[in-house]
């Protein structure tokens, strides 16, 4: 038998298949790289700009099925770490009536936090993530009607996500320009060592693939206006997108990858998904800055079985349910959009070449080292093998660059050079993808319900039934330890540097002073402001320090320069002006349950305790400048209260009725002063008090009417 001829023939067939399916990737890399060099990249925002507009009211949907072991930690981490006013975002957690453990956990959270809401599904679980999210959306719409508000949009997160501190701020800011946003997803990874290499082998393949996809592929697609798919989490959709659906479901409940199908349908209708690759500076040792991507972080499967199970769902849902050849040849999409869809579609074939491809590649490399005699250095198979080797190296270099930017040099070396060219993690990831693809094909061919729109046509022989729903094949999750979570939260130095207030080098120089170092370590304001050193030393101004502390401590900061919009008429009848002068604090507002006192660096550290014990009242603290408190104290002493007439002020009327809270009132006052606009306009920009009917509603209608007609024309949304 002519073994050399047989081997060469096999090599030729496999190499040809690889070239047919992979050569376009090389061309794509070259073209998009040249495009990046030639064309000016899309504008990026500065972190300092995020505060330039009032924060919008945001809704966050979290679907939960048997997540009782992590949901409390996840929600409390969001509340503690996100640098966004708590009154301006609401977490809607969808649970099932037959999942009592998760129900109880979320119920406790909802009773403890005013912006956490329990949404009990109308069905027993599990249904699908899409059905759960759709039901949450119906609850959100009801919430808007009851509370006369309008959320700027909906963000979808998974029950195990670590949300970046700046994500909501970026979402609110970018809604001014985009209707759909996708933030990167970064798998959590241990620092690689010799002892954990094989333990983290499977999860490491996720890190490699997501780094390449979310640092390179998605960015290039967005840059050339190709199709950008949703990742399922970290997805933000403006309210205009929700409005397009009217009473129809946002997500397809008969799809395993409802997020991908949604983003494709939106793209067909002219709504592009903007990929948000932005980063924030963070101080490191010796005054060096490092950068942290505004991304969703999460744990991924660590075992072969769990990874195959999850990727089977992805492959089946994306390549066999959501897209077909019709989307490539007969579609409303442009050429570059259709090509990007083709790149996703071909995975159901390309992944199957892993098993024969790696041995052939290894054989080709060995033939260059040892005199095997089967692969002469001439002929078509040899040149094709040489080209494939170059393509493999090129792919690994791009992957290495992505991993370096996300995880650092050590992770890149472990991922791409253990051993070089054909690393263990690359091979292992290919095997997982191949097995998952084989399972996806088996399920697709053996189960009609997995085929596109098949569930809509399944009926019993005699009695018509409701459409069947594919059960939620979710992955079991765990959450990281609380001490590790601290790494993903912003401290005082992080915020000061991100806002451009201070450089990393100057922060380090200031922190070397013993007095300042202690203040930084104990930065807080509970009974008074203890952090004085930074402003006393002239490193930052009082306003800058209070602004940064307000963000990380979730304590509102009243930034106005004078008290003209504050009504103090009730204060002398309740509080002793002499005591207020002594404590250097002022009650600016009164809620149904609390008096809202302003504190500054000059305020007494035990002011809250003294006031509570003296007047038997409940106190809520806010920040205010020393000058503002001094002016207020003088007005109290002189009994001059020119302030506003609260009965004619929209914001005070809403505040007294409990329709907006103290934090929202302060935001309105701050932006009225900063932007020189009316209180009604600020309320409208924030999404509050929609009954007043301000001009922004008309603006939204005019901007979206044409797009809504497009959506209806293509028959996507009825």
Alpha helices in 447-513 (DSSP H): 482-485, 492-498, 504-511
pLDDT tens digits along 250-262:
999 888 899 999 9
Q: Return d(Cα 681, Cα 15) in angstroms, integer.
A: 63
* Residue 47 belongs to a domain: no
* Residue 49 belongs to a domain: no
Helices 354-367 and 3-38, interaxial angle, to 10°?
A: 100
* Residue 108 belongs to a domain: yes
Q: Which two tokens stand for residue 580?
A: 């207020």
The pLDDT value recorded for residue 653 is: 87
* Residue 375 belongs to a domain: yes
Helices 679-686 and 662-675, interaxial angle, to 10°?
A: 120
Both 165 and 300 in one domain: the answer is no
Q: Which of 553, 583, 599 is the last residue of a domain?
A: 553
Q: Which two tokens stand for residue 524?
A: 């807080």
Q: Which two tokens stand for residue 143?
A: 């919430």
Both 87 and 104 in one domain: the answer is yes
Both 195 and 344 in one domain: the answer is yes
Tell me which DSSP letter residue 87 carries: G
Identify the H or E element spanning 179.
Answer: none
378, with CB counted inside 10 A (0-12, 13-18, 19+), is exposed
Both 570 and 640 in one domain: the answer is yes
Q: How many CA atoms lie within 13 A of 293 on its CB side?
A: 22
Question: Is 340:220 a contact under the CB 8 Å cutoff?
Answer: no
The pLDDT value recorded for residue 377 is: 59
Range of the domain at 546: 491-553
Both 321 and 361 in one domain: the answer is yes
User: SS3 of 589, please?
Assistant: strand
* Residue 142 belongs to a domain: yes
* Residue 597 belongs to a domain: yes
Q: Which two tokens stand for residue 665?
A: 């009132």
Q: Which two tokens stand for residue 28?
A: 């794509």
> Phi/psi at 509 (nearest 5 deg)?
-65, -40
Question: What is the CATH classification number for the domain harbouring 69?
Answer: 3.90.550.10
Both 249 and 371 in one domain: the answer is no
Helices 3-38 and 335-345, interaxial angle, to 10°?
A: 140
CA proximity to 220, closest of 340, 113, 100, 110: 340
| pTM for the predicted model, two decimal places | 0.87
Q: Return d(Cα 183, Cα 169) in angstroms, integer.
A: 13
305-323 burial: b if 16+ Cβ within 10 Å, else e = eebbbbbbbbbbbbbbbbb
Identify the H or E element spanning 598.
Answer: strand 595-599
Question: Is 646:622 a contact under the CB 8 Å cutoff?
Answer: no
What is the number of H-type helices and E-type strands within the chain? 30, 15
Q: Which two tokens stand for residue 593?
A: 């349950």
Omega before residue 206 within 30° of 0, cis: no
pLDDT tens digits along 641-653:
555 555 668 888 8
Both 224 and 165 in one domain: the answer is no
The pLDDT value recorded for residue 440 is: 95
Q: Return d(Cα 680, Cα 690) in angstroms, integer.
A: 10
Q: Taking every pair of C-alpha atoms in the chain, what is the biggest distance, in angstroms?
A: 110
- CB under 8 Å to 460, separation ≥6 — which residues? none
Q: Return d(Cα 275, Cα 182) in angstroms, integer.
A: 5
User: SS3 of 560, please?
Assistant: coil
Both 582 and 502 in one domain: the answer is no
Q: Return d(Cα 668, Cα 651) in angstroms, integer.
A: 8
Both 202 and 116 in one domain: the answer is no
Alpha helices in 554-646 (DSSP H): 577-583, 607-615, 626-638
CA proximity to 554, closest of 498, 505, 607, 490: 490
CA proximity to 450, closest of 328, 346, 318: 318
Q: How many CA atoms lie within 13 A of 29 on its CB side?
A: 17
Q: Which two tokens stand for residue 685?
A: 């920009």
The pLDDT value recorded for residue 708 is: 42
Question: Is 475:301 a contact under the CB 8 Å cutoff?
Answer: yes
Order of strands across the sheet that contains 557-558: 557-558, 619-624, 595-599, 586-590
* Residue 19 belongs to a domain: no
Q: Return d(Cα 268, Cα 343) in angstroms, integer.
A: 17
Task: Point out the residues of the chain with pLDDT beneath 50.
Answer: 454-469, 516-531, 692-718
Domain total in the chain: 4
Q: Return d(Cα 580, Cα 575) in angstroms, integer.
A: 8
Q: Return d(Cα 183, Cα 163) in angstroms, integer.
A: 10
Both 204 and 114 in one domain: the answer is no
Both 564 and 547 in one domain: the answer is no
Question: Is 165:554 a contact under the CB 8 Å cutoff?
Answer: no
Length of the chain: 718
Question: 235: which strand partners?
Answer: 156, 182
* Residue 709 belongs to a domain: yes
Helices 129-147 and 258-268, interaxial angle, to 10°?
A: 60
Task: Determine how β-strand 153-157 pairs with β-strand 58-63.
Answer: parallel
Task: Determine how β-strand 595-599 pairs with β-strand 619-624.
Answer: parallel
User: SS3 of 620, please?
Assistant: strand
CA proximity to 502, closest of 712, 184, 218, 281: 281
Q: Which of 429, 452, 475 is the last residue of a domain?
A: 452
The pLDDT value recorded for residue 471 is: 60
Q: Return d(Cα 518, Cα 511) in angstroms, integer.
A: 8
Query: Taking the CB of residue 400, how many other CB atoms lie within 10 A of it?
Result: 21
- CB under 8 Å to 55, separation ≥6 — which residues? 84, 85, 88, 168, 169, 172, 667, 686
The pLDDT value recorded for residue 41 is: 60
519-539 burial: b if 16+ Cβ within 10 Å, else e = bbeebebebbbebebbbeeeb
Q: Which of 531, 553, 575 is the last residue of a domain?
A: 553
Both 674 and 713 in one domain: the answer is no
């Amino acid at each position: 038998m002519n073994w050399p001829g047989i081997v060469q023939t096999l090599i030729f067939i496999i190499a040809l298949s690889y070239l047919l399916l992979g050569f376009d990737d090389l061309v794509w890399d070259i073209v998009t790289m040249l495009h990046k060099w030639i064309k000016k990249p899309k504008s990026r925002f500065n972190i300092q700009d995020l505060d330039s507009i009032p924060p919008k009211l945001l809704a966050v949907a979290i679907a939960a099925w048997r997540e009782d072991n992590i949901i409390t930690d996840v929600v409390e981490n969001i509340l503690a770490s996100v640098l966004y006013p708590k009154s301006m975002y609401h977490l809607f957690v969808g649970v099932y009536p037959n999942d009592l453990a998760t129900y109880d956990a979320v119920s406790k959270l909802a009773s403890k936090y005013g912006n956490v809401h329990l949404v009990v599904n109308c069905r027993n679980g599990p249904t699908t993530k899409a059905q759960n999210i759709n039901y949450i959306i119906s609850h959100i719409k009801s919430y808007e009607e009851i509370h006369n508000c309008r959320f700027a949009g909906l963000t979808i997160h998974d029950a195990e996500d670590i949300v970046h501190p700046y994500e909501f701020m970026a979402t609110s800011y970018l809604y001014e320009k985009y209707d759909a946003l996708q933030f990167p997803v970064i798998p959590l990874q241990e620092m690689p060592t010799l002892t954990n290499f094989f333990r983290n082998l499977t999860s490491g393949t996720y890190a490699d693939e997501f780094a390449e996809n979310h640092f390179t592929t998605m960015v290039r697609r967005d840059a050339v206006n190709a199709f950008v798919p949703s990742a399922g989490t970290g997805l933000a959709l403006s309210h205009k997108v929700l409005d397009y659906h009217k009473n129809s479901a946002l997500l397809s409940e008969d799809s395993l990858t409802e997020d991908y199908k949604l983003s494709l349908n939106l793209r067909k209708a002219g709504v592009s998904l903007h990929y948000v690759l932005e980063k924030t500076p963070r101080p490191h040792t010796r005054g060096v800055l490092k950068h942290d991507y505004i991304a969703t972080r999460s744990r991924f499967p660590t075992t072969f079985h769990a990874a195959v199970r999850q990727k089977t769902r992805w492959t089946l849902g994306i390549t066999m349910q959501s897209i077909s050849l019709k989307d490539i040849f007969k579609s409303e999409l442009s050429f570059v959009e259709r090509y990007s869809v083709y790149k996703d579609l071909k995975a159901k074939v390309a992944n199957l070449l892993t098993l024969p491809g790696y041995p052939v590649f290894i054989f080709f490399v060995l033939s260059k080292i040892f005199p095997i005699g089967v692969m002469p250095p001439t002929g078509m198979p040899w040149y094709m093998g040489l080209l494939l080797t170059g393509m493999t190296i090129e792919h690994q270099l791009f992957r290495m660059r992505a991993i370096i930017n996300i995880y650092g040099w050590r992770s890149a070396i472990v991922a791409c050079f253990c051993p070089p060219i054909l690393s263990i993690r690359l091979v292992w990831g290919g095997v997982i993808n191949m097995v998952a693809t084989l399972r996806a094909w088996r399920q697709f061919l053996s189960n009609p319900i997995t085929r596109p729109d098949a569930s809509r046509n399944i009926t019993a022989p005699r009695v018509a039934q409701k459409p069947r729903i594919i059960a939620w094949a979710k992955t079991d999750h765990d959450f990281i330890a609380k001490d590790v979570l601290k790494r993903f939260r912003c401290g005082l130095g992080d915020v000061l540097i991100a806002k451009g207030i201070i450089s990393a080098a100057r922060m380090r120089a200031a922190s070397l002073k013993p007095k300042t170092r202690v203040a930084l370590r104990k930065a807080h304001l509970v009974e008074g402001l203890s952090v004085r050193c930074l402003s006393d030393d002239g490193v930052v101004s009082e306003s800058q320090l209070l602004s940064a502390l307000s963000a990380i401590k979730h304590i509102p900061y009243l930034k106005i320069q004078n008290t003209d919009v504050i009504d103090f008429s009730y204060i002398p009848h309740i509080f002793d002006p002499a005591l207020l002068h002594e404590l250097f604090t002022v009650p600016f507002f009164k809620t149904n349950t609390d008096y809202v006192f302003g504190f500054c660096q000059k305020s007494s550290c035990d002011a809250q305790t003294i006031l509570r014990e003296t007047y038997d009242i409940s106190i809520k603290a806010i920040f205010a400048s020393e000058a503002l408190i001094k002016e207020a104290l003088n007005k109290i002493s002189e009994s001059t209260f020119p302030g506003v007439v609260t009965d004619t002020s929209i914001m005070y009327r809403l505040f007294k009725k409990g329709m907006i809270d103290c934090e929202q009132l302060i935001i309105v006052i701050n932006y009225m002063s900063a932007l020189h606009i009316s209180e009604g306009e600020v309320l409208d920009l924030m999404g509050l008090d929609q009954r007043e009917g301000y001009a922004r509603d008309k603006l939204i209608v005019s901007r979206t009417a044409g797009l809504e007609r497009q959506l209806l024309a293509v028959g996507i949304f009825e």
